[in-house]
């Protein structure tokens, strides 16, 4: 992989790659040193030595500062700390103070605003990577700012920024929504899943377990962990050891990793298995979003079909229902029991399905969109490629209903109508913004 490709793939990669590059510069320098030592005068050599050493140092320093999304000095500024503290302030009795990772993402934006509106303190963290159009993330950030939420631009792999945030604010909860999403993209860029969903998760758990007081930790797992499971509807106690994609495997790994932090350090953990979440301010890489764009532009859409001509189906879940599930989880999470890296007693470890409980086929999704958009789709129906997709999902949410009062209320028809209204108001009929 060329270094420019590395930069593209990992917008705020840990320093190893860049530091190696600096070492390479130093190695080349030493090679030159040998040649010059044998052929030049001592004076010329030392002048050259100082010039090259300075250049090498500047190159190293620059490469080091690019390792993180922002230089540390930004985080240390008095003004910056004030913004973090103000954003984290609680404005209701028994309110929460929540660090929301992936705050400029789809679910992160909605959850952050819902928390803020009921008087909780919220600080967002997002690396604004370019998996999909960053201008949509910037627009969400503007929306968050107008709701009094400060979003720190930083990566969950950056232990320094996490330590700084926990230093400034005694967060009661972490709502961890930052992730490399998308089931099929894992074929193209497998390492981005390991980077965000495993390495990033561990870095955030390390910061959380070291924080005093320890926050309760609620995070986004995925319906994809059910993989090749054929028993329906999917219940939390069903098999999850046959993932169909690397995305699913990293989410399943996350469930195991969080369990160890619960077991060793007493972190209160709640994992939420989201079922194909959709709605306003959604993700452009998802089918309902890209289908809308293509239908409006008169471009064809590809509709996958399962074996023997069976339609694929998803338990599409509207964002407002997911937000209620997230808030219900935060409110009932129970306390972490550790401090200073030591556990003082057992803490809750929970996993819940957050789905809609009524799967809809992909062709039905398309017809609902056609109706709301008043336009016909040019459908290109192809057999589902073997790229990590599963034929159907269907959630049993009895456990979430019992434990956190979760009760989905929005059907796909109603939810897509709201999505289309937002889409047209955001992009316009002429779609003059990038998607
Ligand atoms: O529940 C989850 O845990 C996941 O939900 C979502 O994954 P999926 O359920 O796969 O959603 P999405 O891509 O919208 O495809 C929907 C349907 O359209 C079909 N599909 C898709 C694209 C296409 O071009 N054609 C097509 O038929 C496709 O075959 C599928 O049947 C999130 O993206 C993921 O991040 C994760 O959160």
CA 184–ligand 1 middle distance (angstroms): 8
Interval 149-162: pLDDT, tens: 999 999 999 999 99
What's the pTM?
0.86
CA 265–ligand 1 middle distance (angstroms): 35
Per the model's pLDDT, the better-predicted residue between 433 and 303 turns out to be: 303
User: Same structural domain for residues 30 and 131?
Assistant: no
Interval 222-256: pLDDT, tens: 999 999 999 999 999 999 999 999 999 999 999 99
Amino acid 429: pLDDT: 75
User: Same structural domain for residues 261 and 330?
Assistant: yes
Q: Which residues lie with the beta carbon below 6 Å from any ligand 1 atom?
A: 181-183, 222-224, 274-276, 286-287, 302-304, 312, 314, 362, 389
6: pLDDT confidence band, cut at 50, 70 and 90? very low
Residue 424 lies in a domain: no
Mutate to test the pocket of ligand 1, among 183, 289, 325, 361 (most ligand atoms within 8 A of CB): 183
User: Same structural domain for residues 14 and 121?
Assistant: no
User: Same structural domain for residues 256 and 174?
Assistant: yes
User: Same structural domain for residues 51 and 162?
Assistant: no
pLDDT at 56 over 90: no
Residue 276 makes CB contacts below 8 A (sequence gap 6+) with 223, 286, 314, 315, 316, 317, 393
ipTM here: 0.99
ω into 233 cis (within 30 of 0): yes
User: Same structural domain for residues 33 and 78?
Assistant: no
Average pLDDT over residues 387-415: 97
Q: Which residues are catalytic?
A: 247
Parent domain of 21: 3-66
pLDDT at 42 over 60: no
């Amino acid at each position: 992989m060329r270094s420019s490709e590395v930069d593209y793939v990992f917008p705020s990669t840990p320093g190893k790659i860049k530091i190696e590059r600096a070492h390479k510069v130093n190695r080349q320098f030493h090679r030159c040193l040998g040649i010059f030592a044998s052929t030049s005068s001592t004076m010329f050599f030392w002048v050259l030595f100082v010039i090259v050493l300075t250049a090498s140092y500047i190159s190293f320093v620059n490469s080091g500062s690019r390792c993180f999304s922002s230089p540390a000095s930004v985080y240390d500024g008095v003004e910056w700390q004030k913004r973090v503290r103000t954003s984290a302030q609680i404005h209701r009795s028994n309110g929460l103070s929540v660090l929301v990772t992936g705050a400029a993402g789809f679910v992160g934006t909605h959850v952050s605003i819902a928390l803020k509106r009921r008087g909780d303190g919220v600080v967002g963290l997002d690396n604004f990577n370019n998996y999909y159009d960053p201008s949509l993330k910037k627009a969400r950030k503007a929306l968050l700012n107008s709701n009094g939420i400060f979003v720190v631009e930083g990566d969950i792999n950056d232990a320094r920024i996490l330590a700084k945030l926990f230093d400034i604010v005694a967060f009661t909860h972490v709502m961890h929504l930052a992730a490399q999403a998308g089931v099929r993209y894992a074929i193209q860029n497998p390492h981005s899943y390991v980077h965000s969903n495993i390495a990033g998760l561990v870095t955030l758990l390390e910061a959380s377990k070291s924080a005093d007081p320890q926050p309760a930790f609620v995070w986004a797992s995925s319906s994809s962990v059910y993989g090749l499971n054929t028993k329906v509807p999917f219940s939390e106690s069903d098999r999850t050891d046959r993932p169909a994609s690397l995305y699913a495997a990293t989410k399943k790994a996350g469930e195991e990793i969080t369990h160890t932090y619960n077991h060793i350090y007493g972190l209160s953990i709640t994992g939420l298995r989201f079922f194909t979440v959709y709605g306003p301010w959604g993700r452009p890489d998802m089918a309902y979003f890209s289908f809308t764009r293509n239908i409006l532009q008169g471009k064809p859409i590809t509709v996958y079909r399962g074996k023997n001509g069976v339609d694929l189906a998803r338990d599409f879940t509207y964002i407002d229902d997911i937000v209620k599930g997230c808030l219900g989880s935060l409110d009932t999470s129970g306390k972490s029991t550790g401090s200073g890296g030591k556990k003082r007693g057992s803490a809750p470890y929970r996993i819940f399905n957050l789905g809609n409980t009524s799967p809809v086929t992909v062709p039905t999704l398309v017809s609902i969109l056609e109706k709301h958009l008043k336009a016909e789709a040019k459908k290109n129906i192809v057999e589902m490629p073997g790229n990590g997709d599963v034929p159907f999902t269907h959630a049993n949410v009895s456990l979430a209903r019992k434990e956190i009062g979760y009760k989905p209320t929005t059907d796909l028809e109603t939810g897509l109508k709201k999505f289309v209204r937002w889409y047209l108001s955001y992009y316009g009929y002429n779609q003059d913004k990038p998607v």
